[in-house]
Structure 1
């Protein structure tokens, strides 16, 4: 980072804000992206419930959630998000060919992944889904899933802003896993 730009590295445990002390042992303390976001403790607190819904309670289900996140991370050119969600995607049963396809054209994907990826692409390009795209997503994952897809894209676009603006390092456990088992190529 150029010397004229401020640096917001991940906060160490001894720097962790007292205002969000209880969040350090949970999701916020586990990942560098949230340790960077902890420079603004009130935002981490406010973000906590939304993040829990998007990541844990989503109507998309684990695999479709990872499809949406991976497509978003790729489109946002956010290597931190791509790396983390290659590992998470594998953990929930996505194989490397399926993961790699999410970097490519819609016609090279599984049909259900293409529905979700098209929706991600449309949201990122114009902030809206056509009637057909809405119907396709609802048919695949329900009305709740449609709203959760939009929330997931919004969540990971925000995180992409953080990881790219502040050059957030990939967490050591993820880097080690990807060194052992490299990410798939598109």
Structure 2
């Protein structure tokens, strides 16, 4: 049970209400809307992360799931399992990502493996070795490398808030899946 009451849309400012409703009126947004002064900007930044066509959706969801697992975030895992499946991540791949080492068994390669290594190393050591960074940068380039780091940072921070607030997983609503073109993933 959440530690802070969820705000109802009618209790929010107009723009906050629009953004919350557009994303399915989920508990995460209703909880964070309590921080009214920063909530709208945070939501707009999230929209940018969720709709960017720079970072392929499948790569983003691999990073988000790995982040959710490493940050022990049941809410993020509950939401993003569905999003990942829609992005073409299979159930066996999701299961592998949600283990300590199963993702290293040859199931992923190229850009996908590089992103999973980057996410794991960054969140477990709080830094990234030159080798791991070089591998990611080589296959993704500067723009996508920075964007994937921003996604990891966003979802790690969100996991901390969700865990601290003890936000309940929504019964039926799920994060809407943006329709964006998919680029190469390896």
Which residue of structure 2 lines up, in the alignment, with residue 148 of structure 1? Answer: 147
Runs of 4+ aligned residues of structure 1 deviating over 4 Å after TM superposition are: none
- Describe how 1:172-183 pairs up with structure 2 within 5 A: 172-173=171-172
Q: CA deviation at 1:7?
A: 2.8
Which residue of structure 2 lines up, in the alignment, with residue 181 of structure 1? Answer: none
Q: Distance between the aligned counterparts of 2:147 and 2:72, measured in 1?
A: 22
Paired residues of 1:33 and 1:162 also in contact (CA < 8 A):
no
Gaps of 5+ in 2: 175-186
Q: CA deviation at 1:163?
A: 1.3
- Describe how 1:5-154 pairs up with structure 2 within 5 A: 7-17=3-13, 20-27=16-23, 30-57=25-52, 59-104=54-99, 105=101, 106-108=103-105, 109-112=107-110, 113-154=112-153
Across the aligned residues of Structure 1 and Structure 2, the Cα RMSD in angstroms comes to: 2.1
TM-score w.r.t. length of structure 2: 0.81
Q: CA deviation at 1:143?
A: 1.3
Question: RCO higher in 1 or 2 (8 Å CA, sep ≥ 6)?
Answer: 2
Q: Distance between the aligned counterparts of 1:9 and 1:167, measured in 2?
A: 11
Q: How many residue pairs get matched?
A: 170
Cα deviation per residue 1:141-171 (whole Å; 9 max; x = unaligned)? 2211110111111111111112111111111
Q: CA deviation at 1:174?
A: 5.1
Which residue of structure 2 lines up, in the alignment, with residue 183 of structure 1? Answer: none
TM-score w.r.t. length of structure 1: 0.81
Gaps of 5+ in 1: 176-186
